[in-house]
Amino acid sequence: MHWTLPNRDAVVGAANPQFRRDGVRAPALPASLRDPLPTGSRPTGQCPVEMVDSIDDRSSSVQESHAAKRPETNRFNQGEENPVKISGNTIFIPGSTSGIGLALALALHARGNTVVIGGRRREELDRIATEHPELGAVTIDTTDPDSIRRAAAQVQAEYPDLNVLIAMAGIMRMEDWHHPDTFLDTATTTVETNLLGPIRLIAAFIEHLQKQPDSTIVTVSSGLAFAPLQVTPTYNASKAAIHMLGESIRLQLADTSVKVLELVPPSVRTGLMPGQETNDAAMPLDEFVAEVMALIEAEPETHEILVDRVKFLRYGEARGDYDDVVARLNAADPHGK
């Protein structure tokens, strides 16, 4: 591994909230969202997820961020010479029996990839295998180290060309931190699933992936890694940890064939939380997956997959309106009322 000095734009990005850390201009916030909130009032109007549409429509910098090329002195020097492929891969996705995981598995298979899904419940895997015989299926419990080791051995034996691991499994639970009996057990389970699960998955596959000429680890964080939802403290923290884990191992693996890509979903209409599948404020699942696939194809050298709706949360601190983002996010959350 070697280090390079950042160019001028990257240095500007550290001090100027209009720029991301990699020197690419971040989406600007419209004047209507920069106005301070009245003291003691609760924000009203569109929820934060919907506000992203107006941000994108009224800010040309969003389009610039999609089209702009990363600086030649890429912050990790990983990906530009060996971009992520959207087809011709063999992919394992633990935690993909429903929601984003299953929808992404089907979309990736449709683009010419061999896809293996993973989940805890054998009956659920069998049902999906009957409906979608084109998908492979392996039983795995990402909270159980022994299950991870067994599944990894099976996948590597049956799919020796495996070159992409997508660590999709995760849970999101509400907590009340006023008393330990209302959060401690949930917090422990959340960390076990959302943080230790991906760490153990990567440990089980990293040596195999390094032997492949072109491989990718995809971590899954959340917009809540960058702006906290009041009712899910440990989920927020676990996803912030996943973000930094990806940033860190990308540095370590820069001298290998393994790329590290981070998927950063906004609120999506899935069963992750009660009522989320029918929440009009959440992004429709099919729209999310379609945009993700388009971004992978259009920006194969990227390190973060950011659909437009998540940029409201992702760049709040960079824009300088973090407090406003957090206030509006929590005021619009139906679980906090």
Which entry of 159, 235, 315, 322 is annotated as an active-site residue? Answer: 235
Residue keyed to tokens 């683009």? 111
State the Cα angle at 306 between 45 and 223, rounded to 5°: 55
> Between the CA of residue 254 and those of 112, 162, 223, what are the distances in Å?
27, 20, 25
- Respond yes or no: is residue 315 known to be catalytic: no
Rounded Cα distance between 175 and 170, Å, is 16
Question: DSSP letters of 57-124?
Answer: HH-HHHHHHHHPPPPSS-SS--SSSSPPPSSS-EEEEES-SSHHHHHHHHHHHHTT-EEEEEES-HHH
Residue 275 sits at φ, ψ, to 5 deg, of 85, -5
State the Cα angle at 79 between 73 and 81, rounded to 5°: 80
Give SS3 for 226. Answer: coil
Give SS3 for 135. Answer: coil
Classify strands 304-305 and 164-167 as parallel, antiparallel or unpaired. Answer: unpaired
Q: 166: which strand partners?
A: 218
Rounded Cα distance between 328 and 226, Å, is 14
H/E segment holding residue 220: strand 215-220
DSSP state of 192: I
Question: DSSP letters of 13-73?
Answer: HHH-TTB-TTSPBPPPPPHHHHSPPPTT----SS-HHHHHHHHHHH-HHHHHHHHPPPPSS
Task: Please give the span between the terminal C-alpha atoms of the chain, in angstroms, as a whole number.
Answer: 49
Residues designated as active site? 235
